[in-house]
Structure 1
């Protein structure tokens, strides 16, 4: 155990760790910019596209849950997002079978595939080519790292939202 105030020794690969941290920041920024470009290319704003992505990834949910997941206010803001997505044909509302007073919002798979999947086709092809050049062990390591870092992003997002 180190005495209070004494720093841990720097790892031998500190330069690599710092470069990786910087590279992850670049990836995060470029991901946000890419998502914005995708949204714009299909006629949506970034917030609406984020909500559409959440519905696609996590499945149907109530407007309140979608607002919570997207970091939006329950009420006017999420209602406006859902209205715009519904008008564009990307989502639909249906009664909640467990509580008829609530609605569930879900994607319209055909519209999603026609617009969103088409835009991602080139990206998926390039990423597939990159991944094909890795060994199965490297792919597994990358998958594990990505899954674990996604959990860190999620936890940190929740922590920051609670402080706001």
Structure 2
């Protein structure tokens, strides 16, 4: 493989992420922060290791992100009631308020003002998804 496919995927992702970051900046939140707040709301709480996996990030980077979110008052770290040695990160009421204060049109995939997937026909979207999933599975099998 020439690497062109992954180069294009990476470029598309970065360009899209920059557009979302610019839209979110006036609200004082980054794409990674709002993504994590959404996941915490959905899950009710996550261990830092699960957050690292979710964000494809190393533990020190996740710790830094969690420190920032905790200082903002959007998350709390507490002990897992089932395993007192384990930490669970959960959304605070202030974090839920922050999440609710940011219009979904700025960050919600498929609902944003500009949807880059809209240039593809439904059949093209389905085929691209199938092919990218195949690439991801092949990479995961080698990991």
Normalized against structure 1, the TM-score is what? Answer: 0.53
1:110 to 97, 106, 122: 97
- 5+ residue gaps, structure 2: none
- Evaluate the alpha carbon distance shift between residue 150 and residue 111 of structure 1 in structure 2; reply closer, same or farther with a 3 A threshold: farther
Moved over 6 A (4+): 20-23
The equivalent residue for 1:29 is 14
Between Structure 1 and Structure 2, whose CA radius of gyration is higher? Answer: 1
| Structure-2 residue corresponding to 1:10 | none
Aligned partner of 2:81 among 73, 84, 97: 97
**Secondary structure at 2:84's aligned position in 1?**
strand
Structure 1 unmatched ranges of 5 or more: 1-17
For these two proteins, the number of residue pairs brought into alignment is: 132
* 1:80 and 2:67 aligned: no
Q: CA deviation at 1:84?
A: 0.8
Indicate yes or no: 2:121 matched with 1:146: no
Q: Provide the rounded CA distance (Å) in 2 between the counterparts of 1:65 and 1:94.
A: 15
CA distance 1:77–1:97, change in 2 (3 Å): same
For the aligned residues, what is the CA RMSD? 4.1
Question: Alpha-carbon deviation of 1:114?
Answer: 0.9
Using the size of structure 2 for normalisation, the TM-score is 0.58
- SS of equivalent to 1:79: helix
